[in-house]
């Protein structure tokens, strides 16, 4: 870094330090691909409006209890280096920063963040098989694939591979949950194996009444020997319980017998709780969630879809949206289709349409372009925080336009019967997860274009109605 650049970044660092409340208010600092992330003791001490006008800053917002300042790819690395050095916080990782931020979360936020972390760990596998499912579905529609022995065999193997993880998803969730909550991951695998043991009646067969279920009695309580195929909620609960039991026994058991006795007691107690308490409760909870969502689609129809897609981004603002991962996973294993994914996706692209509408109203402002264009690009990959906190929430009427646009997109999702075969990715990458049945790919594009255009036009209309001439100062 040459002297001239360093001098400029030092000036930025000094100004930012003052505007976030001084060195004594900074708990931690790190950076991601485009943003400088700062955890403060008191976020109210940060002057976000003045930060937006600092040299090279393209936007600022608060998310995940972090003040996130947008500089852009590459530039943020250099700014971070100087800023961290100036504040004596060199070499702090993004993981360390998240740990600091988590300390400021309330109990509900911590629970939801923990659920998100569980699914992030196994997301690559879920995305891989979801994409394979889509590929297999597309190939199966071609006659030459069905008639060619080799191509048919390859597609059959792809189909087998695509269904594998969903059959063992509770095991993967139990493993990831135990790991996330501080236990030894191998014990999560053990519990997952117990849940899916071939000694138990298959859960789907038991539900259809095609297999005989053995019932044991423990202290007068009936325990049905039924497996937990599709038991995502149960796996989450068991992952937490197993991790805490592992930690407890590791602390209490004398070291001389710990290696033998600790995992034994953890597994035994976990297994008993699984069949006697957690399993039945988890099944009822999972059934309630799935039935509630299905009830919404069957009884509220288009209105239910529109309400969900119209308000989903408001949930993102609160930070409570991470819980949808667990719900989507349960929905997939129970019904085979995830209608929430396209609904969330159109809600996301609608916020991007609102950003473009705002940009059109203030197209002569270079500062607005610097903020809106990167924010819209992020939206295309399913990330709305820069758009929400940089423009839409800040000026309010783009948020309204985006929410209405999302609701309109939700109507298209309903009438086209759109659904996904996986979860974890949306908007442009999300098309790969779309169920190809009934021209699913085409309708996926139509729904997103509808939401984007509707939000774009509504934002312009609302902006003109408000006679908004104020351009964003980033």
Residue 392: give the domain boundaries: 337-465
How far apart CA 36 and CA 41 sit, in angstroms, is 16
Residue 472 lies in a domain: no
Residue 90 lies in a domain: yes
Locus of tokens 């250099």? 78
Angstrom distances, CA of residue 45 to CA of 21, 78, 79, 155, 453: 5, 25, 21, 58, 38
Do both 257 and 141 map to the same domain? yes
Residue 157 lies in a domain: yes
Do both 118 and 246 map to the same domain? yes
Catalytic residue among 32, 193, 372, 403: 32
Do both 93 and 159 map to the same domain? no
Collapsing DSSP states into helix, strand and coil, what is residue 412?
Answer: helix
Do both 365 and 457 map to the same domain? yes
Answer with the one of 70, 104, 138 that is the final residue of a domain.
104
Six-digit token pair at 140?
């199966």
Residue 400 lies in a domain: yes
Locus of tokens 């950076």? 31
How far apart CA 426 and CA 388 sit, in angstroms, is 17
Answer with the one of 59, 80, 104 that is the final residue of a domain.
104
Do both 128 and 272 map to the same domain? yes
Whether 32 is catalytic is yes
Residue 327 lies in a domain: no
Give the model's pLDDT for residue 407: 95
Six-digit token pair at 128?
């891989």
Residue 197 lies in a domain: yes
Give the model's pLDDT for residue 474: 44
Residue 441 lies in a domain: yes
| Phi/psi at 63 (5° precision) | -150, 140
Give the model's pLDDT for residue 415: 94
Residue 29 lies in a domain: yes
Q: Tell me the pLDDT of the chain (474 aa) as tens digits.
A: 688 888 999 999 999 999 999 988 888 888 877 788 888 888 888 888 889 888 888 778 776 568 888 887 788 888 998 998 888 876 555 555 555 556 656 666 666 667 667 776 776 776 677 667 767 767 877 888 888 999 999 988 988 887 777 678 889 889 999 998 889 999 999 999 999 999 999 887 886 678 888 999 888 888 989 998 878 788 989 999 999 999 999 999 999 999 899 999 999 999 999 999 999 988 888 777 666 766 766 678 899 899 889 988 887 765 556 567 777 877 787 778 888 899 999 999 999 999 999 999 988 888 788 778 888 887 888 878 678 767 887 788 999 999 999 999 999 999 999 999 888 778 888 888 898 888 999 999 999 999 999 999 999 999 988 765 555 544
Give the model's pLDDT for residue 317: 66
Q: How many domains does the structure of the chain reveal?
A: 3
Give the model's pLDDT for residue 105: 63
Q: Do 125 and 163 touch, CB atoms closer than 8 A?
A: no
CATH number, domain of 76, equals: 3.30.1360.60
Do both 154 and 271 map to the same domain? yes
Do both 182 and 205 map to the same domain? yes
DSSP 431: G
Do both 343 and 429 map to the same domain? yes
Give the model's pLDDT for residue 245: 96
Give the model's pLDDT for residue 422: 82
- Kindly calculate the radius of gyration of the chain based on its CA atoms and give it in whole angstroms: 25
Do both 133 and 277 map to the same domain? yes
Six-digit token pair at 343?
């609904």
The pTM score is 0.60
Do both 78 and 151 map to the same domain? no
Answer with the one of 54, 78, 104 that is the final residue of a domain.
104
Of 114, 244, 135, the C-alpha closest to 191 is: 244
Q: Max Cα separation, the chain?
A: 79
Do both 56 and 7 map to the same domain? yes
Do both 449 and 341 map to the same domain? yes
DSSP 424: S
Give the model's pLDDT for residue 239: 94
């Amino acid at each position: 870094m040459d002297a001239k650049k360093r001098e400029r970044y030092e000036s930025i660092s000094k100004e930012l330090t003052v505007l976030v409340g001084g060195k004594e208010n900074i708990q931690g600092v790190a950076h991601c691909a485009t943003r400088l992330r700062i955890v403060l003791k008191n976020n109210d001490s940060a002057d976000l409006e003045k930060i937006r006008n600092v040299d090279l800053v393209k936007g600022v917002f608060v998310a995940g209890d972090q003040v996130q300042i947008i500089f852009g790819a590459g530039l943020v690395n250099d700014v971070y280096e100087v800023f961290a050095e100036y504040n004596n916080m060199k070499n702090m990782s993004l993981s360390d920063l998240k740990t600091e931020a988590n300390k400021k979360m309330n109990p509900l936020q911590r629970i939801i963040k923990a659920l998100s972390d569980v699914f992030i760990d196994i997301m690559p596998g879920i995305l891989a098989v979801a994409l394979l499912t889509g590929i297999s579905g597309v190939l199966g529609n071609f006659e030459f694939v069905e008639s060619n022995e080799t191509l048919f065999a390859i597609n059959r193997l792809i189909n087998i591979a695509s269904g594998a993880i969903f059959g063992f998803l509770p095991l993967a969730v139990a493993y990831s949950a135990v790991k996330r909550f501080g236990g030894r991951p191998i014990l999560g695998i053990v519990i997952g194996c117990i849940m899916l043991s071939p000694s138990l009646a298959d859960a789907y067969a038991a539900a259809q009444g095609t297999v005989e279920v053995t019932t044991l009695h423990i202290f007068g309580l009936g325990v049905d020997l039924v497996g937990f195929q599709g038991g995502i909620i149960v796996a989450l609960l068991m992952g937490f319980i197993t991790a805490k039991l592992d930690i407890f026994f590791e602390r209490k058991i004398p070291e001389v017998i710990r290696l033998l006795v600790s995992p034994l007691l953890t597994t035994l107690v976990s297994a008993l709780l699984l069949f006697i308490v957690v399993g039945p409760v988890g099944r009822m909870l999972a059934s309630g969630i799935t039935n509630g969502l299905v009830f919404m689609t069957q009884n509220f129809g288009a209105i239910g879809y529109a309400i969900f897609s119209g308000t989903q981004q408001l949930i993102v603002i609160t930070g409570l949206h991470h819980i949808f991962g667990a719900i989507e996973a349960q929905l997939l294993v129970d019904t085979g289709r995830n209608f929430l994914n396209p609904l969330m996706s159109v809600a996301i692209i609608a916020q991007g349409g609102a950003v473009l509408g705002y940009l059109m109203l203030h197209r002569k402002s270079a500062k607005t372009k610097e903020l809106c264009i990167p924010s819209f690009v992020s939206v295309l990959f399913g990330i709305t925080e820069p758009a929400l906190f940089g423009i839409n929430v800040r000026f309010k009427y783009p948020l309204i336009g985006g929410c209405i646009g999302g609701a309109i997109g939700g109507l298209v999702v309903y009438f086209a019967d759109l659904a996904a075969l996986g979860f974890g990715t949306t908007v442009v990458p999300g098309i790969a997860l779309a169920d190809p049945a009934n021209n699913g790919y085409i309708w996926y594009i139509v729904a997103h274009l509808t939401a984007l255009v509707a939000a774009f036009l509504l934002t312009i209309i609302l902006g003109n109605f408000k006679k908004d001439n104020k351009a964003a100062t980033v």
